[in-house]
Amino acid sequence: MMAHKNEEQTKRLIEWIADEHHEVYVHIDQKSDAMFNELSRYFKENPHVFFVKQRISINWGGFSQVLAMVNLLKQTDGKTYDFYHLISGQDLLIKSKKEISDFLEKHQGHQFLEFRKNQDYWRVKGYYLLTDFKYNRARPLSKLNAYLASFYKKFPIRGNLKGLTVYKGANWFTLSGDCVKYILHYLEQHPDYIHQFKHTMCADEHFIQTLVLNSPFKETVINDTLREIQWDGGANPKTYTTADCDLLLKSSALFARKFDATLDNEVIDWVYQRDVEKKRD
């Protein structure tokens, strides 16, 4: 889990997931010290919750997002799990844990990963030196990044990732334990792979896809995130409200993102209450 705000919402999500069958590893943005201190203290005695100590200050679209995700995976090294899910602190399970477990039992050994071949290739074949600046989405940095993007779309000159086909997709994934073991071993044996994404744009949308789809696990990948994510034309996905309950009810996805308790806590309560009712049934 990667989180950076909404402490109580994140706490509730961790508590909902963590049990003897589900363990939660949490990366709290380095900029959110108060949140990290409170949650790590609160879950200190919980044997199923682990906090990444080597925290990264994450900036949208930056290499920092890859480093935080890799730190999360490394934290699990030595453990054996059937599946690994990367979620944010603003996600929710919209199916019960039993429904999710039943689904995954039927898909043992598969990877759920959105991918498109060579899409936005220019993002990783150029040099974007300012993507990890805090204000990279505000002017004038956003204008400079847009200019660089227009150049590299025409001239993808960077010599990185040679011999690999570049893939892109949403950074959220569900991967089998064997696949994650392969990723960790590959990164240990090929540390240069990580560094080839430094100074790229939105590296987190290419990093896992390119690695897995150039690996022996390619044929096990199902092009699906298992997440209900709605885009309404902006740079960020839609934040759900109670007006979206019917959409969430009909969704076949296992997870949904995103939710924000400061905007609409009622829809979050509704999702949790539905799960309680399922358990009663």
Span 90-133, pLDDT tens digits = 999 999 999 999 999 999 999 999 999 999 999 999 999 999 99
Q: Is the peptide bond before 258 cis (omega within 30 degrees of 0)?
A: yes
**Range list of β-strands (E), 122-270:** 167-168, 174-176, 221-222, 227-228, 255-257
- The residues facing 27 across adjacent strands are 2
Given a contact cutoff of 8 angstroms between Cβ atoms, the answer to whether 90 and 257 are in contact is: yes
Reported as a single tens digit per residue, the pLDDT across 1-47 is 999 999 999 999 999 999 999 999 999 999 999 999 999 999 999 99
What percent of the chain lies above the pLDDT cut of 90? 94
Checking phi first, is residue 118 left (phi over 0); if not, alpha (psi -120 to 50) or beta?
left
pLDDT at residue 278 above 90?
A: no
**How do residues 42-84 score in pLDDT, each as one tens digit?**
999 999 999 999 999 999 999 999 999 999 999 999 999 999 9
∠ CA 167-173-179, nearest 5°, is 80
Tokens 């939710």 belong to residue: 259
Q: Minimal CA–CA distance to 100: which of 227, 241, 235, 269? A: 227
Mean pLDDT of all residues in 130-159: 93
pLDDT at 234: 77
Q: What is the C-alpha separation between 52 and 37, in angstroms, rounded? A: 12
Q: Is residue 168 over pLDDT 80?
A: yes
Q: Averaged over 235-250, what is the pLDDT?
A: 95
Q: 3 - beta bridge partners?
A: 28
Question: Higher model confidence: residue 211 or residue 280?
Answer: 211
